[in-house]
């Protein structure tokens, strides 16, 4: 029973990391229709910014310095996403093929630049000593870092929900998605609202990048590739533009992958692909997505 509980909580922690990657993708594509393959670059930039802060500027020696490195990674990811949106994406709205090609190019350029600055070998992200501790729940000993992933993801989910539902900028974003022309005719700056979406998506990716660097044992220019693939899978399974759907899909994928890999080693990824195929066949709008009209 203790092993079953340990695998379950570990799967929830893994799903929490998937959510941090996927929620920005879900917002950017679901709300704005932008096919963004540069999202992995937002993840990498955030991870390297957190690493640089934790090693060069404010070495990790306390909870505060580690928390600040996560915050710095999130802000760096958000600002880089905003830069990409301003320089590239805003000229390519409603041009999906061009968006895909350009954002792939941005991702490759960003990886090459990060490799030139930091090298291509994995770099260990400093973490506090408690990172390797465990707490006892029943008969199971749960690694503390898994609980951190879950807590940060919950905070991010609540933050995004509050912004989209209870703030003026959130109202403008939702109205702009429904009828951009009408909102602009009312004199409302829709471009500012959409830039905010990009910043929030990059913020979540940057925070996720720092945490994933700690989870993976290091950060390298191309480490985000696999995580980006799972991010897209989570978005498709959960439903485009649905934060709740992304959270549900991330948990489902993280937990199922952990259990299957334990009881049937090597088949976890296969089960995820089967799950994706079933959703595409029987519910193409995703678990909580809306049917397109």
* pLDDT value at 172 more than 90: no
Q: Return the top range by mean pLDDT from 46-50, 122-126, 267-271.
A: 46-50
Total-model pTM: 0.93
Q: Give the total number of structural domains in the chain.
A: 1
Phi, psi of 60 (to 5 degrees): -70, 110
Say if 293 falls within a structural domain. Answer: no
The rounded mean pLDDT for the chain is 88
Say if 277 falls within a structural domain. Answer: yes
Predicted local confidence at residue 173, as pLDDT: 75
Say if 230 falls within a structural domain. Answer: yes
> What is the C-alpha to C-alpha distance for residues 272 and 269, in angstroms, rounded to an integer?
5
The model's confidence at residue 85, banded by pLDDT at 50, 70 and 90, is very high
CA-CA distances (angstroms) from residue 227 to 21, 120, 195, 273?
7, 18, 24, 15
Say if 288 falls within a structural domain. Answer: no
* pLDDT value at 118 more than 50: yes
Mean pLDDT of 186-203: 83
Say if 140 falls within a structural domain. Answer: yes
The model's confidence at residue 180, banded by pLDDT at 50, 70 and 90, is low
* pLDDT value at 293 more than 60: no
Predicted local confidence at residue 171, as pLDDT: 81
Phi, psi of 93 (to 5 degrees): -60, 140
Predicted local confidence at residue 283, as pLDDT: 92
> What is the C-alpha to C-alpha distance for residues 102 and 247, in angstroms, rounded to an integer?
28
| Residue 264 DSSP code | S
Predicted local confidence at residue 292, as pLDDT: 55
Say if 39 falls within a structural domain. Answer: yes
Predicted local confidence at residue 13, as pLDDT: 95
* pLDDT value at 176 more than 70: no
Say if 120 falls within a structural domain. Answer: yes
Give the lowest-confidence range in 22-26, 68-72, 206-210. 22-26
Closest CA to 117 of 211, 220, 223, 43: 220
* pLDDT value at 266 more than 90: no
Closest CA to 79 of 196, 165, 162: 196
Predicted local confidence at residue 186, as pLDDT: 66
Exposed / middle / buried, residue 99 (Cβ in 10 Å: 0-12, 13-18, 19+): buried
Beta-carbon contacts of residue 177 (< 8 Å; ≥ 6 apart): 31, 32, 241
Predicted local confidence at residue 79, as pLDDT: 97
Give the lowest-confidence range in 5-9, 229-233, 237-241, 287-291. 287-291
Q: Whole domain around residue 268: which residue ranges?
A: 2-282
The model's confidence at residue 291, banded by pLDDT at 50, 70 and 90, is low
Q: What CATH number is attached to the domain comprising 260?
A: 1.10.3470
* pLDDT value at 232 more than 70: yes
Each residue's pLDDT tens digit, 32-42? 778 889 999 99
> What is the C-alpha to C-alpha distance for residues 39 and 19, in angstroms, rounded to an integer?
13
Predicted local confidence at residue 110, as pLDDT: 94
Say if 290 falls within a structural domain. Answer: no
Mean pLDDT of 108-130: 91
Of 137 and 114, which is predicted with more confidence? 114
């Amino acid at each position: 029973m203790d092993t079953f509980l340990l695998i379950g909580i570990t799967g929830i922690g893994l799903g929490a990391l998937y959510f941090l990657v996927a929620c920005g993708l879900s917002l950017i594509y679901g709300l704005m229709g932008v096919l963004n393959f540069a999202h992995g670059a937002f993840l990498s930039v955030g991870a390297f910014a957190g690493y640089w802060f934790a090693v060069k500027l404010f070495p990790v020696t306390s909870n505060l310095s580690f928390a600040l490195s996560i915050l710095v990674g999130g802000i760096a990811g958000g600002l880089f996403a905003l830069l990409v949106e301003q320089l590239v994406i805003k000229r390519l709205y409603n041009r999906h093929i061009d968006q895909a090609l350009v954002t792939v190019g941005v991702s490759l350029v960003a990886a090459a630049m990060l490799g030139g600055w930091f090298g291509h070998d994995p770099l260990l992200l400093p973490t506090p000593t408690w990172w390797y501790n465990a707490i006892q729940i029943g008969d199971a000993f749960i690694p503390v870092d898994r609980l951190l992933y879950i807590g940060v993801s919950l905070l991010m989910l609540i933050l995004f929900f509050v912004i989209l539902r209870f703030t003026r900028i959130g109202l403008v974003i939702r109205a702009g998605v429904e009828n951009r022309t009408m909102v602009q005719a009312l004199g409302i700056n829709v471009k500012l609202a959409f830039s905010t979406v990009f910043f929030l998506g990059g913020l979540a990716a940057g925070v996720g990048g720092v945490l994933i660097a700690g989870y993976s044992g290091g950060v390298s220019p191309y480490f985000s590739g696999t995580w980006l693939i799972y991010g897209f899978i989570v978005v498709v399974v959960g439903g485009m533009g649905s934060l709740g759907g992304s959270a549900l899909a991330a948990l489902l994928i993280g937990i199922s992958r952990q259990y299957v890999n334990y009881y049937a080693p090597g088949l976890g990824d296969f089960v995820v692909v089967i799950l994706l195929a079933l959703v595409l066949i029987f519910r193409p709008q995703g678990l909580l997505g809306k049917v397109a009209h």
